[in-house]
A = this chain, B = another copy of it.
Amino acid sequence: SSPMDRQNRRRGGYVDFPHLSAQHRELMLDLVSTVETRLESDLLPSSLSPDVQYFENESGNSQAALHIRSGDKASPIDLVLGSWIHCELPSGALDITTISAYLKSSTDAPRFLIEFLQSSPTSLILILDLPPRKDLVLHQDYLDTFYGDTQLDKRRQELAKVPEVRPYFSSSLYIRCVCSPTAILVSINCEAGGEGRMEEIIRDHVGPVAKEVLGIWLDRCACGGRVVEVHERADLEMRDRLIKKKTIEIDLGSSLPRLFGPDVAGRVLEAIRDAFNT
């Protein structure tokens, strides 16, 4: 393997997920490898510089890895982004692990998003959604095709049955707005059952649902072949660009400077904006 591979592995490359529990790491590896295997011929190699692929703050108590692969020219995939952030905060360790996928305006199919926010071994927030790329109020056919016919809500309902699972409301109203009506936004708290119970919930409930939702996205959205007429693409592009911009602003744009200092954050955000083309 190359020196960069070795360096990444030593410092914690993207797919090492060095701070996750065994079940959580296994799930992330499964999701990443499913995406990369299925979309291999669509995706270009990562072009991020090593100091963006992995970065930490001065004291080393905040660490992160970023992995971005843009879609090939002929592919409907815009880009797939994976990241993890690990921070030792006074309140304890915080781990944020994300996979998100964006599509080009040649299709209007939904995006993919999974995000885990873990603030303790027994407390986890999960956001799992195929965020829509159109105003669903105006496009009933789109709602039916991607959210009704796919029975996405059944997956949400299944997970909601687990006693430790509660609906979660993001403090950002914008994040709530960009989610679909079948979005899985839940907090999982199992102080009573401990870390073992969290592992069980990830293996038996979160994992199966996450894999199913990703499967639906790959089959119906990424590879669904739903094509948008050229004259309709401008509106879609405008909406996508706005969402990307807002997402950076609300999410990484506010957390990275806080956790990694302005220099590191500036470098990483520039690389993301580059890849996002915003």
Q: Which of B135, B143, B156, B242 contacts A174 (CB 8 A)?
A: B143
Q: Which of B137, B153, B167, B174 contacts A167 (CB 8 A)?
A: B167
Contact residues of A: prevailing secondary structure: helix
In the bound complex, CA of A174 to CA of B140 (Å): 8
In the bound complex, CA of A52 to CA of B31 (Å): 56
On chain B, the residues within 8 Å of A176 by CB distance are 181
**Do B246 and A177 touch (CB < 8 A)?**
no
Q: How large is the interface on A (under 10, 10 to 19, 20 to 34, 35 or more residues)?
A: 20 to 34
Chain B nearest Cβ from A213, distance in angstroms: 16
Q: Tell me, yes or no, whether A148 is within 8 Å of chain B by CB.
A: yes
**Do B181 and A143 touch (CB < 8 A)?**
no
Q: Tell me, yes or no, whether A147 is within 8 Å of chain B by CB.
A: yes
In the bound complex, CA of A148 to CA of B176 (Å): 12
Chain B nearest Cβ from A163, distance in angstroms: 13
On chain B, the residues within 8 Å of A239 by CB distance are 137-138
Q: Tell me, yes or no, whether A243 is within 8 Å of chain B by CB.
A: yes
**Do B173 and A177 touch (CB < 8 A)?**
no
Q: Tell me, yes or no, whether A178 is within 8 Å of chain B by CB.
A: yes
Q: Tell me, yes or no, whether A227 is within 8 Å of chain B by CB.
A: no
Q: Tell me, yes or no, whether A228 is within 8 Å of chain B by CB.
A: no
Would you mind naming 7 contact pairs between A and B with Cβ atoms under 8 Å apart? A135-B138, A137-B243, A140-B174, A153-B173, A167-B167, A173-B181, A173-B182
Minimum-distance CB pairs A-B, first 8 = A176-B181, A135-B135, A136-B177, A167-B167, A173-B181, A177-B181, A137-B177, A147-B173
